[in-house]
Every structure is written in C-alpha cells, then in structure tokens.
C-alpha cells in the first residue's frame, strides 16, 4: 500500500504504525498474533512480532518487538587496517493501549530502544500516539475514514560520544471505502530527517463464499523511495490471504539499482 496506513492500520500490526488501529479487534476475534520478516537490501533484514488483545468492545492492549540487523561491515584499527567485521543492530520493545469513543479511537504506546554498533551501545525511550475516526463523511455515497499518528517522540540516543536524534515522524491520511471490494488510501508524511512526502495505495478484495474469508491484491506508491535512485522505484505491490483464524501477507518493494525488498507476515487470530 506504499506505506499509506494512518487511517487503515489494523490488527496487531497497528502497534508499529498507529496504535489507535488496535481497536479493529473485537469480540469475534479478540486476539491477534503476528510475525513478520522483511528482507532488506544486501544482507540486512528487519523482523517483528506483535500480540494484541481486545478488552471488551472499547479498548485493546498490545505488545511486541522490532529487531533490525544491518549487513556485516568491516572494522578498521587505528592504522587503517581491516580488523574483522561487525553487524550494527537495533531493538525496540513496545507496549500500547487504545480506547474507542463512539466512531473515534485514540491510542498511545511506549517503547524502549537499544542500538548497538560494534562494542558500543545506547538505550533510550520513545512514545507513539495515534487517532482514527471512522465514517467521517460520505464521498460518492461511500464512507471515508481518517487517521493520524506521531511516532518516535523521545530523547536522542547516545552511542559512545555521539548522539543521534530519533526519526520523529508525523503522518496523516484518509481511507476511502470506494466499494465493498475496493479501498483506497492517501497519506501525507512529515518526517524530521527528510523532506515531506506522500504515499498512496489501492486494495481490491475477492471474497470467498460470502464469508469473512478473502484475498487481497494491493498496489501503492511511496514518493520517498524514488528520490536520488535510478531504476524502478516508488511503486509497491503485494497480496494477502485472510481465512479468519489465519492471515498471510506479502509485499514487494523495488528500489531501482539498489535491489528490492520482500516482506512477509503471518498472523493468527484466536
């Protein structure tokens, strides 16, 4: 979906995007457990696990972690000679709570972040906030949802004698349910560490036997991916299979001459 998810974040994945989206869980599917693996560029990767549970009809809790590992890098001694290799890594452990007020939902989360580069490491904490409103208005007789999130609000992380600010980001967007089988999303992103950009996505559904089981086909565009990179960039595509108790999602993200990313998520509802 090109990263356009401020208004559409749902299930346990919402913990990392917009915690207000945890309220999509309800009495029929009170718990959601997801695992994701993202194959990034070269040998780097990102993986996460998240668990969310509905607390009745008006609130939800979630917890999870994200782990990022960069590819092996060469270490050098004081004379400039190679001295082995190391792998920089980052770990964030999160917890969040969300509450519904009629058609409006608010969520907030706290996460502890640890970064390691060779034998140097640092720790900090950050807050995430989010809100979603359902059925704000009708566009062409079809409902429109809106949402916004603020992520990574916290003090800089210190590694040895250096200090680096967290990637604070504000996102706001809308989700239009164009038909029972088609959704479209548009987000505006305001990150602190790069220029503003937009992302958009379209998701089409194929339902099985008039039940909740469905397949999804997705395309999107992320403006930030096309900057200063040659080749096919910006475009994203993916698909998903939702069988009620089990969910599988795949995303393909080309990054031009740099290569491509592949992301797969498995989730279980119970």
pLDDT, one tens digit per residue, over 82-112 is: 777 778 899 999 999 999 998 899 999 999 9
When the pLDDT of each residue in the chain is averaged and rounded to a whole number, the result is 92
- Answer yes or no: is pLDDT of 173 > 90: yes
Confidence of residue 159 (pLDDT cuts 50, 70, 90): confident
What is residue 227's predicted lDDT score, i.e. its pLDDT? Answer: 73
What is residue 74's predicted lDDT score, i.e. its pLDDT? Answer: 76
What is residue 77's predicted lDDT score, i.e. its pLDDT? Answer: 75
Contact 10, 21 (CB under 8 A): yes
- Answer yes or no: is pLDDT of 18 > 90: yes
What is residue 151's predicted lDDT score, i.e. its pLDDT? Answer: 97
What is residue 123's predicted lDDT score, i.e. its pLDDT? Answer: 96
How large a percentage of the chain has pLDDT more than 90? 73
Contact 111, 92 (CB under 8 A): yes
More confident residue, 82 or 267: 267
- Answer yes or no: is pLDDT of 211 > 80: no
Exposure string (b/e) for 236-261, b if CB count within 10 Å is 16 or more? bbbebebeeeebebebebbbeeeeeb
What is residue 86's predicted lDDT score, i.e. its pLDDT? Answer: 79
Confidence of residue 158 (pLDDT cuts 50, 70, 90): very high
- Answer yes or no: is pLDDT of 17 > 80: yes
- Answer yes or no: is pLDDT of 249 > 80: yes
Coil, strand or helix at 167: coil
Radius of gyration of the chain (CA): 19
Coil, strand or helix at 257: helix
What is residue 103's predicted lDDT score, i.e. its pLDDT? Answer: 85
C-alpha distances (whole Å) from 127 to each of 53, 165, 195, 218, 223 are 20, 14, 22, 30, 26
More confident residue, 133 or 28: 133
Confidence of residue 190 (pLDDT cuts 50, 70, 90): very high
Phi/psi for 180 (5° steps) reads -60, -20
Contact 184, 145 (CB under 8 A): no
Query: Rounded mean pLDDT of 125-137?
Result: 97
Query: Rounded mean pLDDT of 196-208?
Result: 96
Tell me the C-alpha distance between 160 and 116, whole Å: 10
Q: What is the pLDDT of residues 33-78, one digit of tens each?
A: 999 999 988 889 999 999 999 998 899 999 999 999 987 777 777 7
Q: What is the pLDDT of residues 220-246, one digit of tens each?
A: 999 988 777 788 889 999 999 999 899
What is residue 175's predicted lDDT score, i.e. its pLDDT? Answer: 98
Coil, strand or helix at 24: helix
Contact 85, 69 (CB under 8 A): no
Contacts of 24 (CB under 8 A, 6+ apart): 10, 11, 14
Q: 227: closest CA among 175, 262, 191?
A: 191
């Amino acid at each position: 979906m090109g990263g356009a998810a401020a208004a559409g974040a749902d299930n346990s994945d919402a913990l990392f995007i917009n915690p207000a989206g945890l309220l999509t869980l309800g009495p029929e599917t009170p718990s959601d457990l997801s695992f994701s693996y993202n194959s990034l560029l070269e040998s780097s990767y990102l993986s996460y696990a998240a668990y969310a549970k509905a607390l009745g009809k008006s609130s939800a809790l979630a917890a999870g972690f994200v782990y990022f590992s960069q590819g092996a890098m060469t270490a050098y001694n004081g004379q400039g000679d190679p001295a082995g290799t190391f792998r920089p890594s980052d770990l964030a452990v999160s917890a969040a709570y969300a509450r519904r007020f009629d058609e409006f939902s608010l969520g907030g989360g706290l996460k502890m972040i640890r970064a390691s580069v060779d034998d140097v490491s640092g720790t900090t904490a950050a807050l995430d906030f989010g809100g979603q409103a359902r059925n704000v208005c009708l566009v062409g007789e079809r409902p429109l949802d809106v949402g916004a999130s603020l992520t990574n609000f916290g003090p800089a992380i210190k590694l040895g004698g250096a200090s680096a600010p967290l990637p604070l980001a504000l996102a706001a967007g809308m989700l239009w349910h164009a038909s029972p089988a088609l959704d479209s999303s548009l987000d505006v992103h305001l990150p602190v560490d790069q220029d503003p950009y937009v992302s958009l996505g379209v998701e089409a559904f194929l339902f099985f036997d008039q039940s909740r089981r469905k397949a999804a086909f997705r395309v999107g565009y992320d403006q930030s991916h096309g900057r200063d990179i040659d080749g096919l960039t910006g475009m994203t595509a993916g698909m998903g299979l939702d069988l009620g108790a089990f969910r599988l999602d795949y995303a393909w993200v080309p990054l031009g001459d740099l290569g491509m990313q592949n992301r797969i998520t498995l989730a279980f509802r119970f």
